Amino acid sequence: MRQRLTIPRLIGSLLLFATAGVGCGEAAADTDATDGKAPGSAAAEPEVRPLGRIVPVPASVTPEGEPYTLTAATRIGVDASSGESQALGRYLAGLLRPATGFPLPVVDDRAAGHGIRLRLDPDETGLGDEGYRLRSAPDGLTLTAREPAGLFRGVQTLRQQLPSAVERKSVQPGPWKIAGGTVTDTPRYAYRGAMLDVARHFFTVDEVKRYIDQLALYKVNTLHLHLSDDQGWRIAVDSWPRLTTHGGSTEVGGGTGGFYTKAQYREIVEYAASRYQEVIPEIDMPGHTNAALASYAELTCDGVAPPLYTGTKVGFSSLCVPKPVTYDFVDDVVREIAALTPGRYLHIGGDEAHSTSHADYVTFMDKVQPVVAKYGKTVVGWHQLTGATPAEGALVQYWGLDRTPAEEKERVAAAARNGTGLILSPADRTYLDMKYTKDTPLGLAWAGYVEVRRSYDWNPATYLPGAPEDAVRGVEAPLWTETLASTGDLDVMAFPRLPGIAELGWSPAAAHDWDTYKERLAEQAPRFDALGITWYRSPEVPWPAE
C-alpha cells in the first residue's frame, strides 16, 4: 500500500468547494476578462487558498495564523547588492502588477516594511540548490533560499497561493491573500525536464518562450530541445550552412519549416536561464538524419542526396558510419552547438537507428561520445545508447513502455548498475503527444492511450526493474510534434498531464496520491484559463463546473 504524507491528508481536508467531473472537452481562455473568470472556470475560488494546496505539492506545510494580504502599499524587498536578487524582485513584480494594479516597487530589503522579502542565505544548506522556505503572516511574507534558483521556485509557490486571477493581464478586483504559515520545500529529483520537438513542426522563439514560462510555473528546470530530425534541421551551423537553408526549409505536411539563427538560439537559452531552466540541445544521430543527408550528399554512403522528407515514418535514414567526413561533420556540429550552450549536457539521440547495423552503431557511438566530451559537455542519449557503451558520466533517457521486452529493460538497468544515470520518460506514461483516448483529435497512439491518471500514477524510483533507485536522476515529459502545429495544439496535449509529471519530479514520494492530486489539479483549471492555456477536460478529474 502506498504510504501517504500528512500533507495530502491535510490539504485534502481543506476543500472549500465541491467539484464534479463533467466529461471531456477543451476550454479556451479569455485572457482579457475583467471578472477574474473565463469559460470553463469555477464560479468562484476561495478567498484564501489553503497553504500548500498547489502543484507540485510541497514537501512540508505548516498552516498557522492569519493570511498575508497584498495591497497597494506592498513593497518587494531584495538584497540590493545582488543582481540576481534584484532580477527576481522585478520578475515577481512583473507577475503581480497587471492583475493587482499595484505599483509593487522593488526596494532594498530594509525598506520593505510589511511587504514581501526575497532573501538569499548561504547558511541555509538544508534547502540545497533549489529549495526554499515561505513564511506568510499578516505582518509580511518572506521567501528564503540558499540559491537564486530556490527563490525562483518559491516565487512559483507564492503565485499559485494567490487567486488564479493574478495571472490575468488586466486589473482584477482581488483581494490578494496568501494563507498564513510556513512552507519548506526541496525537490525529489535534481532533473525535472520537458522536451519540445521543433524538428517535425517548427516553433518560433516566442512560442518556445511561452512554453518555458508554462514549465516554470510547475518548477520544471530542464528544457530539452529536439533540434534535428528527418523532417527538418533547426539550428544554424556556420560550417555546414545548407543544414538550415535546405534542411530547415520544410516540416511535416510540407510547410515552410524554419530554423534558429545562433542569436535566436542564444535568446532561447538566455530566456530559459532567466527562469532557471537549463537547455539541452539534441542532434539526433546516426538515424533521424534525412534533413542532414538531403543537405549534404557526402554524408550518405552512395553520395546521392535523398529528397527532403515531410512524412512521419521513422527508421529509414542513417549517417554513413564508415566515411571519415561523417566525423568531421559531427565534430563541427557538436563544437558549434556546445559553444552556444552554457549547460552541462548535449543530447546525441541514438534511437530508432534501424538503418544502421549494430556493429556500425557501436562504432559510431564509440567515436562520437568522445567528441561531446572534447567540447566540455556530458553525453545524453536515448536508452538505445546502452546497446553500445555509454561514456563515463553519461545519462540515458528511457522511453520504453510497460510492455517493452524484459531483456531490453534489463540492458538499461545493467547500465544503470554500472554507473549510467537514468532519465525516465516512459512513452506510455510521459509522452505528451500520445492521445488521451481514441477520440482525441490530435496526437498519436503507438504507445497506447495516456489519460491523466496514467501519466501521474507511477513511481520513477521503482519503475525500471533492476535499476538502482539512486541511478534515477529524474523524469522528463517529451512533446513530439508530428501532429502538433500550433501553440494551441501544444497546450491541449501538455495540459493537464504536464503538471502531474512535474509533481513526480518535485514532490516527495510519500506525497504521491492520485485521490488528493486530482483535487489539486482540478483547482488549476481557472489558472489555465487565466494564462490563456487551451486544455483537455479529462473526465478523470473533478473540474470546477462550467
Catalytic residues: 352
Q: Which three cell numbers stand for residue 163?
A: 487567486
Q: Which three cell numbers stand for residue 183?
A: 512552507
Residue 396, Cβ density class (10 Å: 0-12 exposed, 13-18 middle, ≥19 buried):
buried
DSSP state of 294: H
Three-state DSSP at 277 gives coil
CA separation, residue 387 to residues 40, 408, 411, 436, 467 (Å): 48, 9, 8, 32, 16
Match 522528407 to its residue by C-alpha cell: 309
CB-based burial, 170-185: b 16+ in 10 Å, e otherwise = eebebebbbbbbbbbb
Among 377, 300, 299, smallest CA distance to 339 is for 377
CA angle 413, 419, 423 (to 5 degrees): 60
Among 261, 269, 226, smallest CA distance to 243 is for 261
Alpha carbon distance 290, 316 (integer Å):
8
DSSP state of 365: H
Residue 137, Cβ density class (10 Å: 0-12 exposed, 13-18 middle, ≥19 buried):
middle
Query: Euclidean distance between the first and final Cα of the chain, in Å?
Result: 35
Among 289, 394, 401, 283, smallest CA distance to 349 is for 283
- Which residues contact residue 446 at a Cβ distance below 8 angstroms, ignoring those fewer than 6 apart? none
Q: Which three cell numbers stand for residue 1?
A: 500500500
DSSP character string of 323-361? -HHHHHHHHHHHHHHHHH--SSEEEEE----TTS-HHHH
Q: Rg (Cα) of the chain, in Å, rounded?
A: 24
Alpha carbon distance 79, 209 (integer Å):
28
Amino acid code (one letter) for 291: A
Contact assessment for residue 7 and residue 58, using Cβ atoms and an 8 Å cutoff: yes
CA separation, residue 51 to residues 34, 324, 450 (Å): 26, 60, 31
Q: Which three cell numbers stand for residue 342?
A: 552554457
The Cβ-side half-sphere exposure at 151, using a 13 Å CA radius, reads 28
